[in-house]
């Protein structure tokens, strides 16, 4: 693979870099890197107006029809600028590609443009209490009543559900069928009567994850993607893009954290000592750099698969697995470099508690988007070709 930009890619990178310099002010970001819905909505709209949303989406759906390599450049320059991601990551990376693949003309016309602009925020209704990462074990039911599906059940660990306008929802429509065969996939308006969102406050203090309760929610019949019983196949399209296209965003985020880790290591602590002067600290930082480079090159392999086959391969599961544990180690290292000050948060902490917040948030990395245990099974069976253990 040639890692150098083509002439067109170099021009795109230069234009994007200039745009960030003119439009992004790091001083306006929320303190300690905490998510702020109002700020992120405005920033997401600015990205859209600037022409940097939906880079790889087909032009017929409002995108720019560019190669995935341009999306990789976008993430690299985002990190360089220190800017946040688009707020609608679930819509852009999961709901949107799934609707493009499985949706009717009416569904595409209704949802895709508003998804790109950030007017509609999406959440994911897959996980349930008692089934965890076992999507085929979903028990939320949808029963057809005339021209409507009547939905009852509960979902959990749904990011952005407290802010979302729409939900990609896996439901059981045929309880008599085999587990995988009895599922269907609905697009559900989160403002419908009977939809209740209960935010789950995390260890960070933020309610990023949520429970969703559905009580006799009446969803139009034409909100289904595919046919009844296609839910498993449609959901696999979603998960393929979640662990594939989002891998670039994950590595970009880790690169951003690593850059800030280096900045922290060069700052004198409260005792006047500079952490980077310690060879043990330098070794630890070097190890994190090695992990980062291995992830970056694995992403290039995934990019090659995208360019040649049009879809990411199972190798993207490696990225998510290694990234989640590397991010936890990196944030722990950053806090340890602060010495006793690492115990402080908020106004009394280094960088207003930035690293304390990032370490606490990282605890969810090995659970969300597939637990590390599930991902190790995927890598073993689908990447390495090892026999199934069950």
Look at residue 216 and give its three-state secondary structure.
strand
Annotated catalytic residue, options 242, 288, 291, 315: 242
- Rounded to two decimals, the pTM is 0.85
Q: Distance between CA 297 and CA 119 in Å, rounded?
A: 35
Q: Which of 181, 152, 180, 155 is nearest to 168 (CA)?
A: 155
Output the CA angle 353-19-252, nearest 5 degrees. 45
Where in the chain is CATH 1.10.540.10? 7-117
CATH of domain 234-383: 1.20.140.10
Which helix (DSSP H) or strand (DSSP E) does residue 211 occupy? strand 209-220
Q: Distance between CA 362 and CA 364 in Å, rounded?
A: 5
Where in the chain is CATH 1.20.140.10? 234-383
Where in the chain is CATH 2.40.110.10? 122-229
CATH of domain 122-229: 2.40.110.10
Residues 53-57: contacts with CB under 8 Å, at least 24 apart = 53/86, 53/92, 53/116, 53/117, 53/118, 54/92, 54/96, 54/116, 56/245, 57/96, 57/100, 57/112, 57/116
Cα distance between the two ends of the chain: 38
Q: Distance between CA 149 and CA 220 in Å, rounded?
A: 6
Q: Which CATH class is domain 7-117?
A: mainly alpha
Q: Which of 187, 177, 204 is nearest to 345 (CA)?
A: 204
Q: CB–CB of 188/143 below 8 Å?
A: no
What radius of gyration, in Å, describes the C-alpha atoms of the chain? 22
Q: Tens place of pLDDT for every residue, the chain, 390 residues?
A: 667 889 999 999 999 999 999 999 876 666 555 667 888 899 999 999 999 999 989 999 999 999 888 988 998 899 888 888 888 989 998 999 999 999 999 999 999 999 999 999 999 999 999 876 678 889 999 999 999 999 999 999 898 899 999 999 999 999 999 888 999 999 999 999 999 999 998 888 888 889 999 999 999 999 999 999 999 999 988 887 766 566 777 888 899 899 999 999 999 987 788 999 999 999 999 999 999 999 988 888 877 777 777 666 667 788 889 999 999 999 999 999 988 788 877 666 677 788 998 999 999 899 887 788 888 888 888 778 888 866
Q: Distance between CA 332 and CA 338 in Å, rounded?
A: 10
Q: Distance between CA 199 and CA 159 in Å, rounded?
A: 9
242 is catalytic: yes
Could you give phi then psi for residue 122, rounded to 5 degrees? Answer: -115, 155
Structure tokens at 349: 């902490």
């Amino acid at each position: 693979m040639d890692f150098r930009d083509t002439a067109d890619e170099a021009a795109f990178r230069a234009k994007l870099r200039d745009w960030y310099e003119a439009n992004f002010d790091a001083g306006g970001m929320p303190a300690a890197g905490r998510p702020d819905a109002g700020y992120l909505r405005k920033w997401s709209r600015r990205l859209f107006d600037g022409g940097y949303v939906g880079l790889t989406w087909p032009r017929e759906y409002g995108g720019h029809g560019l190669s995935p390599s341009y999306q990789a450049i976008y993430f690299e320059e985002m990190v360089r600028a220190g800017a946040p991601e688009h707020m609608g990551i679930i819509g852009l990376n999961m709901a949107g590609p799934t609707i493009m693949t499985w949706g009717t003309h009416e569904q595409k016309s209704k949802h895709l443009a508003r998804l790109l602009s950030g007017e509609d925020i999406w959440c994911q209704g897959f996980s349930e209490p008692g089934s965890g990462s076992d999507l085929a074990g979903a028990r939320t039911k949808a029963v057809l009543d005339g021209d409507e599906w009547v939905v009852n059940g509960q979902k959990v660990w749904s990011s952005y559900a407290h802010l979302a306008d729409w939900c990609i929802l896996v439901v059981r429509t045929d309880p008599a069928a085999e587990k995988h065969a009895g599922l269907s996939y609905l697009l559900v308006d989160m403002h419908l009567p009977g939809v209740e969102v209960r935010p789950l406050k995390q260890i960070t203090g933020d309610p990023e994850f949520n429970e969703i309760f559905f009580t006799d929610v009446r969803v139009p019949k034409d909100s289904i993607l595919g046919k009844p019983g296609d839910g498993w196949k449609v959901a696999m399209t979603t998960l393929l893009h979640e662990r594939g296209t989002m891998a670039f965003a994950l590595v970009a985020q880790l690169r951003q954290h690593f850059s800030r880790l280096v900045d922290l290591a060069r700052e004198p602590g409260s005792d006047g000592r500079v952490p980077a002067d310690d060879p043990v600290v330098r070794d630890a930082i070097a190890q994190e750099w090695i992990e980062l480079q291995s992830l970056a090159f694995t992403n290039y392999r995934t990019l090659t698969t995208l360019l040649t086959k049009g879809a990411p391969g199972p190798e993207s599961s490696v990225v998510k697995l290694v990234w989640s544990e590397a991010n936890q180690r990196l944030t722990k290292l950053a806090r340890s470099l602060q010495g006793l000050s690492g115990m402080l948060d908020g106004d009394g902490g280094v960088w207003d508690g930035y690293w304390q917040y990032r370490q606490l948030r990282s605890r969810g990395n090995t659970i969300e988007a597939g637990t590390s245990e599930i991902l190790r099974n995927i890598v073993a069976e689908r990447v390495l070709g090892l026999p199934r253990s069950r």
